[in-house]
């Protein structure tokens, strides 16, 4: 029985070696894949931010092969998130209260602390992916995606055509993807650029002013649509190296505002919160982003075998019409230790410029901007990931790996345009996250 399986594997490897197909999206395996074979992949990720978000995310994938280059894969992801994230308001020298627009429950933050909003949610996602040959030189991969969480739902479809040319030294890829998303903000969709502490705005979320329950209730979700196109080329350089270059463009339309983020309005001289009339609470405006965004990405990757070890290096340049430009460099180097084990250090460097409408706060003596967001993710910042993975190829059909990584973000903590007491506080508190992942893969 074992000999039969081994024979099948060896024959598959030989068949595979003579029919190697490079793909920009699919993964080919050194283990044979033949009719009736299937593969199980499982991973558990624990993502933990210091004093902020905690995420536990198990993923399971089952892939069934019809033949060595044709399969269907089902993947389930469960994403459990708890903790708090910055709500956009700046720290101050006084306690800050956020009573919440449109029926959201209020909360207070002590003086000197970065205002955070607690949240808890579970996301369930199902992905189905198929890949099948269309001819000797062409094949197609297709994906269907569904995801749901308390305040967000998404349906997606994508398809990519791949064509081998140049004696299968070159693979051309062209793909499109569509995602239809609905946002159901907890407490209803807030009217943009309104003061959440203004009593006249309470329980008046959305344009029609109807009351909202928790996320997901009613049919007033806000729509967001994404259309992606991608063109790519993968080239074998020699027996030890290959390279990929992709260009992709995304058209995003609809509700792109974060319903939970606010922007502090501060006194133009003291920097203290400007007060909501007839109250002792500050003025915090709900943010507003444009309802369209076009993004572009040039992505380059190279994989090089160096005396059995593997260097994987990628660079990504991103730019969009919100004024964001970003550079990302990612490098891993896999050191093989004997036949079974390996150690793989990982380094990633990310940097982005701010969106045109990003403001850490606005002053009470300036006109209201058309668009504004204090979301730290739209600010100028650098991100750095340092990690290591230890893995074992237990036998020809099963693999195990553990990785530990540290992700940090650092931004402009003391911007030049901070006024008054703002200059005493860190307006971009660094984010520190630890990533632990355990993964197992078994080919049957």
Partner 1 sequence: MIILDTVVLMFFFLLTITGCSIQTVQPWERDILAQDKMQLVPDPLENALDEHIYFSKEAASGGQGVGGGGCGCN
By CB under 8 A, name the one of 143, 205, 273, 282 that touches partner 1: 143
By the rule CB under 8 A, 305 interacts with partner 1: yes
Instruction: Show contacts with partner 1 in window 58-77 (CB under 8 A).
Output: 59, 61, 75, 77
Q: Which is nearer to partner 1, 69 or 267 (CB)?
A: 69
CB of 283 to partner 1, least distance (A): 23
User: Which segment (79-87, 131-139, 196-204, 267-275) binds partner 1 by CB under 8 A?
Assistant: 79-87
Give bridge partners of residue 250 from the DSSP assignment.
228, 295
Listed residue (316, 422, 428) closest to 380, CA to CA: 428
Instruction: Show contacts with partner 1 in window 32-61 (CB under 8 A).
Output: 41-43, 45, 47, 53, 57, 59, 61
Distance CA 325, CA 378 (A): 11
Instruction: Show contacts with partner 1 in window 225-244 (CB under 8 A).
Output: 226, 228-230, 233-244
Instruction: Show contacts with partner 1 in window 328-387 (CB under 8 A).
Output: 328, 334, 342, 350, 352, 355, 377-378, 383
CB–CB of 121/149 below 8 Å?
yes
Distance CA 295, CA 317 (A): 11
Q: Which is nearer to partner 1, 338 or 367 (CB)?
A: 338
CB of 349 to partner 1, least distance (A): 12
Q: Which is nearer to partner 1, 130 or 235 (CB)?
A: 235
> Tokens at residue 60, please?
């399971």
CB–CB of 309/301 below 8 Å?
no
Q: Which is nearer to partner 1, 284 or 342 (CB)?
A: 342
CB of 275 to partner 1, least distance (A): 28
Q: Which is nearer to partner 1, 53 or 275 (CB)?
A: 53
User: Which segment (2-10, 89-97, 105-113, 222-230) binds partner 1 by CB under 8 A?
Assistant: 222-230
User: Which segment (23-31, 97-105, 281-289, 362-370) binds partner 1 by CB under 8 A?
Assistant: 23-31
Contacts of 150 (CB under 8 A, 6+ apart): 121, 122, 184, 186, 214, 215, 216
Q: Which is nearer to partner 1, 230 or 418 (CB)?
A: 230
Distance CA 71, CA 178 (A): 22
Distance CA 177, CA 225 (A): 11
Size of the site for partner 1 (CB under 8 A): 114
By the rule CB under 8 A, 394 interacts with partner 1: no
Question: Measuring CA to CA, how many Å separate 195 from each of 59, 257, 275, 367, 378?
Answer: 40, 16, 10, 15, 21
Rg over alpha carbons for the chain, rounded to the nearest Å, is: 25
Spell 323-352 as b/e; 16+ CB within 10 A means b: ebebebebebbbebeeeeebebebebebeb
CB of 161 to partner 1, least distance (A): 11
Longest dimension (CA), the chain: 84
By the rule CB under 8 A, 81 interacts with partner 1: yes
User: Which segment (103-111, 158-166, 193-201, 414-422) binds partner 1 by CB under 8 A?
Assistant: 158-166
The C-alpha angle 251, 55, 401, rounded to 5 degrees, equals 95
């Amino acid at each position: 029985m074992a000999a039969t399986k081994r024979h099948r594997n060896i024959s598959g490897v030989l068949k595979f070696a003579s029919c190697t197909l490079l793909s920009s999206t699919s993964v080919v395996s050194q283990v044979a894949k033949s009719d009736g074979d299937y593969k199980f992949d499982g991973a558990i990720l624990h993502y933990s931010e210091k004093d902020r978000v905690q995420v536990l995310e198990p993923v399971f994938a089952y892939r069934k092969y019809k033949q060595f280059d044709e399969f269907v894969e089902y993947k389930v992801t469960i994403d459990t998130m708890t903790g708090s994230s910055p709500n956009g308001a700046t720290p101050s020298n006084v306690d800050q209260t956020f009573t919440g627009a449109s029926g959201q429950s209020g909360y207070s933050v002590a003086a000197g602390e970065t205002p955070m909003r607690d949240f808890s949610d579970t996301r369930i996602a199902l992905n189905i992916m198929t890949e099948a040959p269309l001819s000797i030189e062409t094949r197609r991969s297709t994906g269907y995606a569904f995801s749901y969480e308390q305040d967000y739902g998404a349906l997606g479809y994508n398809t990519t055509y791949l064509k081998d040319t140049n004696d299968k030294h070159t693979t051309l890829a062209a793909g499109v993807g569509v995602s239809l998303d609905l946002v159901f903000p907890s407490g209803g969709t807030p009217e943009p650029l309104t003061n959440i502490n203004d009593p006249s705005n309470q329980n008046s979320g959305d344009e029609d002013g109807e009351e909202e329950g928790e996320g997901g209730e009613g049919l007033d979700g806000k729509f967001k649509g994404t259309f992606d196109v991608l063109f790519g080329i993968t080239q074998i350089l020699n027996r030890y190296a290959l390279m990929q270059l992709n260009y992709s463009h995304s058209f995003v339309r609809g509700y792109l505002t974060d319903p939970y983020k606010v922007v502090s309005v501060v006194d133009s001289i003291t920097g203290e919160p400007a007060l909501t009339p007839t109250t002792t609470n500050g003025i915090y405006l709900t943010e507003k982003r444009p309802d369209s965004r076009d993004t572009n990405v040039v992505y380059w990757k190279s994989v090089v075998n160096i005396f059995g070890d593997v260097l994987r290096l990628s660079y990504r340049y991103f730019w969009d019409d919100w004024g964001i430009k970003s550079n990302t460099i990612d490098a891993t180097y896999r050191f093989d230790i004997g036949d079974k084990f390996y150690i793989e250090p990982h380094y990633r460097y990310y940097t982005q410029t701010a969106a045109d409408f990003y403001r850490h706060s606005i002053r009470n003596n300036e006109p209201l901007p058309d668009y504004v967001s204090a979301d730290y993710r739209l600010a100028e910042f650098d991100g750095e990931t340092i990690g290591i993975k230890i893995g074992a190829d237990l036998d020809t059909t099963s693999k195990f790996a553990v990785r530990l990584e540290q992700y940090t973000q650092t931004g402009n903590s003391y911007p030049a345009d901070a006024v008054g007491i703002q200059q005493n506080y860190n307006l971009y508190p660094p984010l520190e996250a630890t990533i632990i992942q355990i993964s197992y893969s078994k080919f049957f």
